[in-house]
Amino acid sequence: MTNKAVIDFTDDPLVKGPCAIVAYACQANGGRPAKDFIEDLGKSDQAKLAKSFHCIAHVGRINNIERFRKLRGKIYEFKVHPKIRILCFQLGKTWLLTHGFNKETGDTPTRQIKRAEQIRKEYISLLT
């Protein structure tokens, strides 16, 4: 894959496929932390994310646990490389990206998982 992102990260939803949709989760204050984080990434890292997002939208899964895995409860993570992580959750056919961060230790920090859970809670409260 080239260093060119194959999706426009300013769009929401990011990808619509036959198996799933990938979109940004919105906080109660209107913020979209995942969007802000992704837009600040380099083109090469955006292209790697785009590939993962396309795969989940068009195939319905990512079999490589080095690229995508369940963390805790309803929170999952996309991995770009050893440092960059995007956390998300699923509602129906839609994968909602909560936020991203640069990982500095072995395991995903609990505070990052809690942040994703809080964004999920805020997003769901906006739906009701």
pLDDT in tens, 87-110: 999 999 999 999 999 988 778 999
Question: Is 6 a domain residue?
Answer: no
Measured in degrees and rounded to the nearest 5, phi and psi for residue 95 equal: -95, 120
When pLDDT is averaged across residues 99-127 and rounded to a whole number, the result is 92
In a domain, 50, yes or no: yes
- The domain of 99 spans 15-127
- pLDDT at position 66 is 86
Residue 1 — very low, low, confident or very high, per pLDDT cuts 50/70/90? very low
* Residues 38-81 pLDDT 10s: 999 999 999 999 999 999 999 998 888 889 999 999 999 999 88
In total, how many domains does the chain have?
Answer: 1
At residue 7, the pLDDT reads: 66
Q: Is the pTM of this model over 0.85?
A: yes
Residue 81, domain CATH: 3.30.2310.20
